[in-house]
Structure 1
Amino acid sequence: MEDSDRQVQPERGGQDDALKQKIEAAYHGNGTPTAHSSATAPPTADGGQDPRVAHGVLLLKAAGVASVDLVAHRDTWEWLTALAVDHDHFRTPPSVEDVKEGRVQTVLSGRSLIGLLIKLWETRSAATPLEADWALATTAYNRIAADLTGVDGEGQTIRIVLDDGLPQAADD
Structure 2
Amino acid sequence: MAFGNGEAIRQIGEQLGRALEDLSALKQQVSDQQLAIDQIRFDTTAAINTGLTENRAVIRDGLTRANETISDPLTQIGSELVAIRSGIGQLDNQIRAAAAGAVHRPAPEPPEEPEAAPIEDQKPAEPEPEPAPEPEPEAPRQVEHDLETLRAAAGISAATLHAHRDTWEFLVKHAGRDQHFHVPGEVQDVVGAVIVKVSGPSLVAILTSLGGIKDDPGVAPGTQAIAHHLHRRIADTVKAIAVSRHTGGSADPVTIVIDDRPAPDDGSDGQSERDPDD
TM-score range, shorter chain: 0.5 to 0.7
1:83 matches 2:179: no
Q: Which segment is superposed worse, 51-60 or 136-145?
A: 51-60
Tell me how far apart the structure 2 counterparts of residues 153 and 161 of structure 1 sit (CA, whole Å): 20
What residue in structure 1 maps to residue 209 of structure 2? 119
Tell me how far apart the structure 2 counterparts of residues 134 and 128 of structure 1 sit (CA, whole Å): 9
Task: Tell me, yes or no, if the aligned pair for 2:213 and 2:219 is still in contact at 8 Å.
Answer: no
What residue in structure 2 maps to residue 62 of structure 1? 153
What residue in structure 2 maps to residue 134 of structure 1? 224
Tell me how far apart the structure 1 counterparts of residues 234 and 217 of structure 2 sit (CA, whole Å): 19
Which structure carries more helix by proportion? Answer: 2
Return the offset for 1:55: 1.2
Segments of 4+ moved more than 6 angstroms: none
Task: Tell me, yes or no, if the aligned pair for 1:129 and 1:135 is still in contact at 8 Å.
Answer: no
Return the offset for 1:130: 7.2
Tell me how far apart the structure 1 counterparts of residues 162 and 142 of structure 2 sit (CA, whole Å): 26
Task: Tell me, yes or no, if the aligned pair for 1:127 and 1:133 is still in contact at 8 Å.
Answer: no
Per-residue CA deviations over 1:56-81 (Å, capped at 9, x if unaligned) read 11101001110111111100100110
1:71 matches 2:176: no
**Counterpart secondary structure, 2:153:** helix
**Counterpart secondary structure, 1:50:** helix
Normalising to structure 2: TM-score of the pair? 0.41
Return the offset for 1:128: 4.6
CA change 1:165–1:99 in 2 (3 A) is farther
Tell me how far apart the structure 2 counterparts of residues 86 and 127 of structure 1 sit (CA, whole Å): 20
Letter in 1 for 2:231: Y
Return the offset for 1:129: 7.3
Letter in 1 for 2:166: D
What residue in structure 1 maps to residue 259 of structure 2? 163
Letter in 1 for 2:258: L
CA change 1:136–1:54 in 2 (3 A) is same
Return the offset for 1:99: 1.6
Tell me how far apart the structure 1 counterparts of residues 216 and 198 of structure 2 sit (CA, whole Å): 25
1:149 matches 2:245: no
In structure 2, list runs of 5 or more residues that go unmatched.
1-134, 263-268, 271-278
Letter in 2 for 1:144: I
Letter in 1 for 2:235: A
Normalising to structure 1: TM-score of the pair? 0.65
Letter in 2 for 1:159: T
Tell me how far apart the structure 2 counterparts of residues 137 and 54 of structure 1 sit (CA, whole Å): 19
Return the offset for 1:54: 1.9
1:52 matches 2:148: no
1:98 matches 2:215: no
Aligned length: 124
RMSD over equivalenced CA pairs, Å: 2.4
